[in-house]
Structure 1
Amino acid sequence: MKICGIIVEYNPLHNGHLWQIQTVRQQLQPDVLVVVMSGNFVQRGDFAIIDKWQRAQMALEAGVDLVVELPFYGAVQPANIFALEALTILQQLQVDTLVFGSEYPKLDYYQLARQIEPITAQATNFVDFHNTYATQFNQAIEQQMGIKVSQPNQLLGLAYAQASLKLNYPLQLTALRRQGQVQHDEVAFQGKYASASAIRQALWQQQPFASAVPQFVAAQLFSLPLIGWHKFFPYLKYRLLTASLAELEHIYQMNEGLEYKFQQEIKDAVNLTDFLRRVKSKRYTYARLRRLCLYTLLDITASQMQQMRQQRYLHVLGFTHRGQDHLHQIKKSLTLPLITKVTQKLGNRNGIMARSVQAYRILGLINISEQNFGRQPLRRK
C-alpha cells in the first residue's frame, strides 16, 4: 500500500491546499491520504480561526482519508519540535511519503539536512542577542555552505528532513511548488490563490476572500464564529497582572528575564499587537513571543510541556472508509495510544490528555463548543 501524508493547519483550508490534495491524488495515487492537523492552537502562537472539528470536516470534504490531531505539545512549537512531533505521528500511521509545499521544490532536503548537522550541533553557541536564533542559524548556513535558507516552507522542509533522520524514519519527501503568491503579511490575492494569513486578515477586515477558498469552505466561514487573539487578550492581561514573577519564571520558554519585560509592558498595552511591539527585540521573533503569550495564557510550565511530550497519543478527528480500514490494519502495531473518544480517564488530572483538555477549556469563555468530551471521529464516505 502507498500511504501519503501531509502536515497541515488548514487555517483555513484554501484553494492552494485543495490543489495540493488533488495533485497528490493524481500524481502519487495513494491508497490512503493522511493529514496530521494542528488542533485549536497553531505553530506561530495563534488560535485557529475556526475549531479543529470544523477544519477536519473541510479536510475530509477536500479529499483526505484520515485526519489525526497534532496536539498542543507539538503544534505550538518552533519548527524543529513541530516537525519531530508531526513525523512521530506519521511514523505511527505507517506513512511512507510526506508531501509539502515549498518555494524551492527541487532542493534535496535530506542532503541539506546531513550537510548542516555540524551547524545544528553548534546551535548552543548562537548567543548574539542582537539577532534571533533563526537569523543566526540561517547566517551560519549561508556563510559555511553558500546556501540561503530563509523561506518559511523551505525551513519546514529542512525540519522534516532533520526529524526523519533523527527518528531513523526513511520517509520519502515530495515537495510541490507553492501555488500563487506567498506574501504572508498582506491581503494580496492573485487569481484564485492566496496565503492562509492573507485570507484570515481579509476575514477580520471584512474584505472579500471567497475567490481564494473552495465553496464549501466559504459557506462555513461566512456562518461560523471566528476565533482570535483579540477575544483572549484581556485574559492574558489579567494573567500577567496577577501572576507573581516566580510563577511566570516556570512558564515554558520564559527565560532571559522575559517575565520582567512581560509584566512591565502589559500594563499599558491595549491589544496583543501593541503588546508584542512593546516586548519585541532583535533577540526574539514575533512568532516566538506569540507562542510565549499562549503558554502564559494557558499556564503551561516547562515541566508540564516535558510531561506532555512524554505522554504522546494519536487523537483521530475524522476518516473515510479507507482511512478507517487503514487504522484497523495498523492498530496492533501502534506503540502510542489510539484515541477515538476522549474519556474522563484520559482527560482527568492524571490522564494523558489532561493538559490538552485544560487548554481547550479556554475556548468555552467565548462560547465555542466542547472540543473533546462527547466528540467522536467525523465520518465521510
Structure 2
Amino acid sequence: MGLQELKIIFDNPIYYPGETVKGKLFIFLDTPQKYRGIRIQIKGVAQTFWRVTKKETDNSLRHTAKKSTESFAHEEYFSRRFYIAGGHAGETELPSGEHVRPFEYKLPQNLPSSFESEFGSIRYTAKAIFGFPWGFNQEIEHAFKVVSNCDLNRDPRAKKPVMVEKCKAFGCYCTLSTITANLSIPLGGYVPGQSIPVNVDLENKSGIKISNVKLTLHKNVIYRVKKPRADEKTKSFIEAEISKGPMEYKGMISYKQVLKVPDLQPSTLNTCGIITINYTLKLEADVKRWCCRRRSLKIITPILIGTVPIANYQSLVASGQQNDRIRRKVNSEGFSPGAAVYCTAAPPTYQEPILRARKYPEENASETSPLIPK
C-alpha cells in the first residue's frame, strides 16, 4: 500500500553532448505517503568486462582445475545527484493520486555515443530514488540515448576520395597467374542513410573462376580492460553487404555498386578510452579451386561514419564519378588503375540503449547478378 509506481519519461528520445536532458518523474500513490526526500541520480559511464578461464595443474601434476579471471575497466564521464522534492530535515507527506516532478541536467561536452554489446557498454541513465522515513528506499532507473556529434565537414579525411589496388597470384606452383582488383569511392566519410557508390575494376589473368565478389561494411569494436592487467579484444560485425558474381575464367570487368549506410553509431574520435568504434569497407573476390591455398583476394580500407554530412556531398560524389569515368577511359586498353591511395581514417558510436542490459561489475568491486567480362 502507499507507493504503487515510479516512472521516468524523458522529453526527447535522443540527446547530444552539451544539451539539457529534461524529463519527468511520475509518482503513483493509492494512499497518502510520508517521505524524507525524492532525488534524481544521473550519470554516464563506460564499462568493459570479460572472463578468461584457464586450466591449472597443482604441484603434484595429478590434478587440474579451471581458474576464471575477471578483466574489467571503468570510465565515468559525469555523476550528479539532486533532490526534486523534500531533502530537508524531517518528513513530508504526499496525498494519494498521481504526482509529476520535472527534472533537468545539462550534459557535458565531448561525450561518446551510447553503446551496448556483450563485452562492454557506454550507458547514460537517470535513477529516481524515493526515500521512506524508515530507511528503505524504492528506486527506478531508465536509460537515455546520447549521440556524439561527428561533423564530417571538420575532418579533411572525409572529403578525400579513396582508391585501393591489390594484385594476388593464384594457381598451382608451376602455373601461377594473377587477379588484380581496384576499389574506389568518391569520399572517405558518410552518414547513416547515405549511399556509398563503389566502383570496382577486376582483371582475371589466372584462368581460375571467381565465384563471387562481395562488398561489406564492417563495424569494428575494440574493447580494452585495465584490471587485473591491461588487455584488449576486437570484434567485427557486418553492417551492410552486397555481392555480384560469378566472373568467368579470364577477362576484365568494371562495374559500380551502391552500399547504403544503415543506422550506426558515429566513429569514435578519442572520446572513450576503453571502447573504440571504427568502420572499414571490404572487397573480397572468392576463388574456389582445390590447389589454391589462399582462396580469396581482399581489399580493406577504413572509412568514417559521422552524424553531420559533408555540405557539398552531391557535387563531390558527382566529381568523383566523373574522374573515375576518365580513369576508366584512359585505362580501357589495359588494366592499370595506378598506385593505391589509402584514406587513412584513423580508428580513433547509434544503437538503442538496452534497458535490461547486462550488468557489469563496478571498478571497485544479397543481391546477386553475374559478372560478364568485356
- TM-score using structure 1 length: 0.20
**Bigger proportion of residues as strand:** 2
**Bigger proportion of residues as helix:** 1
- TM-score using structure 2 length: 0.20
- Whose RCO is larger (CA < 8 A, sep 6+)? 1
